Amino acid sequence: MKGKRSQRKRKICLFKRAVRILLNELYCFLRKWKRRYPHGFAVICSCVIVALAVVAGCRIFMGVNHSKVYAAEEKQAVNVQQNVMPSGLAGVISGVWESEYQPDAVARIGTSCEEVIVGQRLSKIHNETQKVDMSAFAQSAAENLNSQSMTMAAAPKMMSDTDYDTLLHIVEAEAGGEDIKGRIMVANVIMNRVESPQFPDSVTEVVWDTEGGYQFSPTYDGRIGTVEISPETEDAVRQALEGTDYSQGALFFVAKDQAAKENVDWFERDLKKLFEHGVHTFYTYPDGAKE
């Protein structure tokens, strides 16, 4: 009987030692993680707490099978531990129940990929002291992460780098001398055509469409490849892709003082005039008319 008890006692000691080693390793890992990734630290702590709950459940289950003698020893060990300052992982967890940290400001920019969300923006996280209340973490984690995460444009449109570059160049070539609103309107017309079943389905195809002749004079005379994109044009395109629309559904525009008379006559005769802005007059198909 004594031999069995002695053997059980050794197993328990080995188990405790293994748990201590594991907790010490986790403690070291969490210290490094907290320094590098303060925002993700709370999530890791939550996972560790769940793991500790599982370990505690295993210990309770093992304790049920032990004799009263070992139960008394466990109770004495707990009493001793209550009088000792928490160390290792327990010390880390108790130390972050209500801790302060200062998140770093984020000032990254979107990188260029073949498929990008054009007009994406990154919000800046302010360097304000915040408190992490672990007791309410599970309830507010989603809101906190959402408020501190990167935010994107209100209504971004998906397009390739090629389409985005084409849109910048056609807006610069057609409206480089216009105000910001006039540039947005030209971008609106291009996007209206992309969304219309009567035109091709991408910006590049719309701009370089030659069915019935060149659709935009800069593609005919080559100006589209020679312009230098200005910050104003970049801003106008960004706003257009985020949802700013002054076009009233326009599918055409023309600078009458620069266009051939027969072209202007066609616009006036076969299309519905919407409005004028700057040097451009904007049109769409007449009500019920098809291309």
Q: What is the pLDDT of residues 11-47, one digit of tens each?
A: 787 787 877 887 777 777 777 666 665 555 565 666 6
Structure tokens at 234: 């970049």
Does 195 score more than 80 pLDDT? Answer: yes
**237 with 171: CB under 8 angstroms?**
yes
d(C-alpha 112, C-alpha 160), whole Å: 10
Lowest model confidence (mean pLDDT) among 49-58, 117-126, 148-157, 180-189: 117-126
Q: What is the pLDDT of residue 23?
A: 79
Class of the CATH-defined domain 158-284: mainly alpha
Question: At 264, phi and psi to the nearest 5?
Answer: -65, -40
What single letter denotes the amino acid at residue 1? Answer: M
Q: What's the average model confidence in pLDDT over 104-132?
A: 42
Does 130 score more than 80 pLDDT? Answer: no
Q: Which residues pair with 280 in a beta bridge?
A: 277
Does 9 score more than 80 pLDDT? Answer: no
Q: Is 155 exposed, middle or buried (0-12, 13-18, 19+ CB in 10 A)?
A: exposed
d(C-alpha 203, C-alpha 154), whole Å: 21
Residue with tokens 């451009």: 280
Does 117 score more than 50 pLDDT? Answer: no
d(C-alpha 2, C-alpha 11), whole Å: 14
Q: What's the average model confidence in pLDDT over 128-144?
A: 53
Does 212 score more than 80 pLDDT? Answer: yes
What distance, in Å, lies between the first and last C-alpha atoms of the chain?
Answer: 98
pLDDT interval class at 199 (50, 70, 90): very high
Does 92 score more than 50 pLDDT? Answer: no
Range among 62-66, 228-232, 255-259 rated most confident: 228-232
Whole-structure pTM over 0.75, yes or no?
A: no
pLDDT-above-90 percentage for the chain: 40
Q: What is the pLDDT of residue 80?
A: 46
Closest CA to 51 of 75, 27, 70: 27
d(C-alpha 125, C-alpha 151), whole Å: 11
Range among 13-17, 82-86, 138-142, 229-233 rated most confident: 229-233
Locate CATH 1.10.10.2520 in the chain.
158-284
Q: Which distant-in-sequence residues (6+ apart) come within 8 Å of 275 by Cβ? A: 248, 281, 282
Q: What's the average model confidence in pLDDT over 260-286?
A: 93
Q: What's the average model confidence in pLDDT over 238-248?
A: 96
Q: What's the average model confidence in pLDDT over 134-138?
A: 52
Does 272 score more than 70 pLDDT? Answer: yes
Q: What is the pLDDT of residue 98?
A: 46
Q: What is the pLDDT of residue 37?
A: 56
Structure tokens at 146: 């959402």
What single letter denotes the amino acid at residue 271? Answer: L
Sequence-separated contacts (24+) of 226-235 with Cβ below 8 Å: 227/169, 227/172, 227/173, 227/176, 228/172, 229/168, 229/169, 229/172, 230/172, 230/176, 232/180, 232/183, 233/168, 233/171, 233/172, 233/175, 233/176, 233/183, 234/168, 235/180
Q: Which distant-in-sequence residues (6+ apart) come within 8 Å of 197 by Cβ? A: none
Q: What's the average model confidence in pLDDT over 93-118?
A: 44
Residues composing the chain: 291
Say which residue, 211 or 57, is predicted with more confidence. Answer: 211
d(C-alpha 152, C-alpha 121), whole Å: 5
Residue with tokens 């600078």: 255
Instruction: Write down the mean pLDDT value for the chain.
Output: 73
pLDDT interval class at 152 (50, 70, 90): very low
